[in-house]
Amino acid sequence: MANIFEGKTILVTGGTGSVGREIVRELLPMNPKAIRVLDIDETREFEMAHAFKKLDEGNKVRYLIGNVRDMERMKRAFEGVDIVFHCAAMKHVLACEYNSFEAVKTNVMGLQNVLDAALDANVEKFIFTSSDKAAHPSNVMGTTKLLGEKLVTAANYYKGSRRCVFASVRFGNVFGSRGSVVPLFKKQIAKGGPVTITDTKMTRFVMTLKHTLKLLFKATEIAHGGEVFVLKMPVLRIEDLADVMISEIAGKFAHKPAEIKKKTIGAIPGEKMYEELMTEEEALSALEANEMFILIPPALKDLFSIDTTRYANTKPAKYANYRSSDEKMMEKTEIKKLLVETGFLK
């Protein structure tokens, strides 16, 4: 992949989150001019600055306090920016269900603020981090993410002569990220159980942070404007993940695996039994590459001549729903390997 970040000023909103931190970590060796981390949590920014001190020997990272709901702050933060990764969002399903308009104010109105700021600053690339919950959404979080994708695509319709390219990347559960089920299971096992499972049939798409970033940067490189890049991901049963973690971790906390009980507690409001990468309707205008699908909204085709040759080695996607419940499940040995790779079996 070409180094499209060298000499560029890059802004990462929600930059102290799991994905945001990893974006910064991966970008620093690529010799950017500067990286601006924008977040509303000053404590986590302080902790991140301390953790990244050795990695950031060139003092290229700038830590900005600000809320995406504050348009005036966004205007200042975006001055001179070339590339934007928009990660700031309310992401927890339950929090969004019970604070619905707060989710709208951050995930929709806040997103429109950063889109407008990006247009005013004439940024080169703007990448919105979306979620597989945007496909056939059943909850507030997924609905705001779907609307977010539409807003990002629409920004390409009215950018005029600006150089801006706006696109979205849709991915699933980032394995072991803050708020994911992996650290929760680990804490429950450490206490001797029970390990709480919403449903034995529940399945999820998962990705490691490393794989997520590789494909996120690739999408940034090839984006033409308006696409939704849907990253291909392995699928696991939540119960299988719990079983592997109990088997591998219980002994580290002086517990016998057989003593750790599992408890089925039922799905939380808005939670689905399975997730979807894309719908049948989206698949009609999608291209398939080795590691991702590229959704080209029909309205985009009507407005622009899309040069699909820039997407190397692609073919039309199959007309189908890409559901986690229909995909091949990871074997327990594969889940164990994933846990080792991400450091959760230490």
Taking residues 132-147, what's their average pLDDT? Answer: 95
Examine residue 194 and say whether the peptide bond preceding it is cis (omega within 30 degrees of 0).
yes
- What share of the chain in percent tops pLDDT 90? 73
Mean pLDDT of 250-255: 93
Q: Tell me the C-alpha distance between 306 and 293, whole Å.
A: 16
State the DSSP code for 329: B
Q: What is the mean pLDDT of residues 277-288?
A: 90
39-94 pLDDT, tens per residue? 999 999 999 999 999 999 899 999 999 999 999 999 999 999 999 999 999 999 99
Distance CA 115, CA 265 (A): 40
Let me know if 133 is a catalytic residue.
yes
Whole-model pTM: value is: 0.92
How far is residue 286's CA from residue 278's CA, in Å, rounded to a whole number?
9
Average pLDDT, the chain: 92
Write down the pLDDT at residue 45: 97
pLDDT of 322 reads: 86
Report yes or no: 10 and 34 within 8 Å, Cβ to Cβ: yes
User: Which of 344, 92, 328, 34 lies closest to 24, judged by CA?
Assistant: 34
Alpha-carbon distance values, 96 to 106, 112, 140, 169, 283 (Å): 10, 18, 6, 21, 28
* Predicted local confidence at residue 344, as pLDDT: 77
Reply yes or no on whether the pLDDT at 110 is more than 90.
yes
pLDDT band for position 320 (cuts 50, 70, 90): confident
- Position 46 scores a pLDDT of 97
The domains of the chain, with CATH numbers, are 9-172+209-233+276-323 (3.40.50.720)
- What's the pLDDT score for residue 27? 96
Out of 8, 91, 125, 133, pick the active-site residue.
133
Q: Is 345 exposed, middle or buried (0-12, 13-18, 19+ CB in 10 A)?
A: middle
